[in-house]
């Protein structure tokens, strides 16, 4: 078993076909096929279902290990470079869209200034989409909602909390109010996060504590999509501060929702791996940006851990 074989299997898992894996590795398809064949022979098991075009269960197990192995080797190279006072290498971060909108530009600016030899790879997605990528090793870290859906393999750090709001048309009965409470919203239909997500769990818990219930007109896994649908007239949503546009037009009113806990946003990374030098540098920059700049955004509150 060697790294070329493991890299070929990871590329096949990521790209789905031998030809696409070969393109990603800048080689020819026959080389990829040969590497996979040798690996299958050594392990005594089929790793890729060539008829169905997907990894077998054994292949999935090997890929999980292969990602960790290649990540550790990359981290070792970066750590050696750090001892020469250089931060060199790559780091892959995932981020929920509402946070990425204000955090990524500053993050990229500081990384380019302080660590110009680090290559950033940024993936936007919902918490439910990013969490499995963390667990599988596709991401080094991610800025997601806390707590994550499955936190067994993840370590987390709080970054900030944000207030929750309701956006309503100006003709709505709540328009013009500074705030409303959950009892006033009882039995209304909302665009709500899916059950089982951190956001929905917080909403449902707060409602139960006050003896009220909200009706899900639709379940939307994605705050930016829910915000868009709200502005397009498909129903109200309970939205965090970072989902709000920089200004509201004359047809809309922003109302704070009392009784809902603030949304927690934090940094998550695999618990069992030691982060590389580029990952450690990025983590420190993220925490510094949040500590210094989060309060400039209305409704955001840096966590004590980020200060």
CATH assignment at residue 192: 3.40.190.10
Predicted local confidence at residue 196, as pLDDT: 85
Task: Please check whether residues 16 and 52 belong to one and the same domain.
Answer: yes
Cβ contacts of 77-84, under 8 Å, gap ≥ 24: 78/276, 78/277, 78/278, 79/276, 79/277, 81/277, 82/277
Predicted local confidence at residue 287, as pLDDT: 93
Predicted local confidence at residue 245, as pLDDT: 73
Task: For residue 101, give Cα distances in angstroms to 125, 190, 220.
Answer: 12, 24, 19
Domain extent, residue 146, equals 87-160+264-306
Is residue 79 included in any domain, yes or no? no
> Mean of the per-residue pLDDT values for the chain?
87
Check whether 82 has a pLDDT greater than 80.
no
Is residue 75 included in any domain, yes or no? no
CATH assignment at residue 19: 1.10.10.10
Task: Please check whether residues 149 and 8 belong to one and the same domain.
Answer: no
Q: Do 25 and 36 meet the contact criterion of CB atoms below 8 Å apart?
A: no
Is residue 100 included in any domain, yes or no? yes
Cα–Cα distance measured from residue 244 to residue 102, given in angstroms and rounded to the nearest whole number: 12
Say which residue, 307 or 157, is predicted with more confidence: 157
Per DSSP (E only), the strands in the chain are: 48-49, 54-55, 89-95, 118-124, 141-145, 154-162, 164-169, 179-181, 189-192, 215-219, 238-240, 252-258, 263-270, 300-302
Q: 141-196, pLDDT tens digit by residue?
A: 999 999 887 666 788 999 999 998 888 888 888 888 989 999 999 888 999 999 98
Predicted local confidence at residue 184, as pLDDT: 92
Q: Which of 225, 243, 261 is the last residue of a domain?
A: 261
Per-residue burial over 145-181, b if 16 or more Cβ lie within 10 Å, else e, is bbbbbeeebbebbbbbbbbbbbbbeeeeebbeeeebe
Q: 237-249, pLDDT tens digit by residue?
A: 999 988 877 666 6
Query: Rounded to two decimals, what is the model's pTM?
Result: 0.71
Average pLDDT of the residues in 19-46: 88
């Amino acid at each position: 078993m060697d790294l070329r074989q493991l890299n070929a299997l990871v590329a096949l898992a990521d790209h789905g076909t031998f030809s696409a894996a070969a393109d990603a590795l800048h080689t020819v398809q026959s080389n990829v096929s040969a590497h996979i064949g040798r690996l299958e022979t050594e392990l005594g098991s089929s790793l890729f279902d060539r008829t169905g075009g997907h990894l077998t269960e054994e292949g999935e197990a090997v890929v999980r290990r292969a990602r960790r192995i290649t990540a550790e080797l990359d981290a070792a190279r970066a750590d050696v470079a750090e001892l020469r006072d250089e931060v060199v290498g790559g780091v892959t971060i995932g981020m929920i869209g509402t946070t990425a909108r204000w955090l990524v530009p500053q993050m990229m600016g500081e990384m380019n200034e302080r660590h110009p030899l680090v290559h950033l790879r940024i993936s936007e997605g919902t918490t439910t989409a990013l969490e499995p990528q963390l667990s599988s090793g596709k991401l080094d870290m991610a800025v997601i909602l806390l707590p994550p859906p499955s936190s067994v393999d993840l370590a987390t750090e709080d970054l900030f909390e944000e207030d929750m709001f309701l956006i309503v048309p100006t003709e709505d009965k709540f328009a013009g109010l500074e705030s409303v409470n959950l009892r006033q919203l009882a039995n209304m239909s909302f665009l709500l996060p899916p059950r089982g997500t951190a956001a929905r769990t917080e909403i449902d818990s707060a409602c139960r504590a006050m003896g009220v219930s909200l009706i899900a007109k639709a379940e939307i896994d994605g705050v930016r999509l829910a915000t868009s649908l709200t502005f397009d007239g498909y129903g109200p949503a309970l939205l965090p501060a970072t989902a709000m546009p920089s200004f509201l037009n004359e047809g809309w009113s922003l109302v704070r929702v009392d009784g809902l806990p603030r949304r927690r946003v934090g940094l998550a990374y695999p618990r069992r791996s030691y982060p590389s030098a580029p990952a450690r540098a990025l983590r420190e920059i993220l925490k510094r940006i949040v500590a210094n700049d989060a309060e400039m955004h209305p409704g955001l509150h840096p966590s004590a851990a980020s200060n």
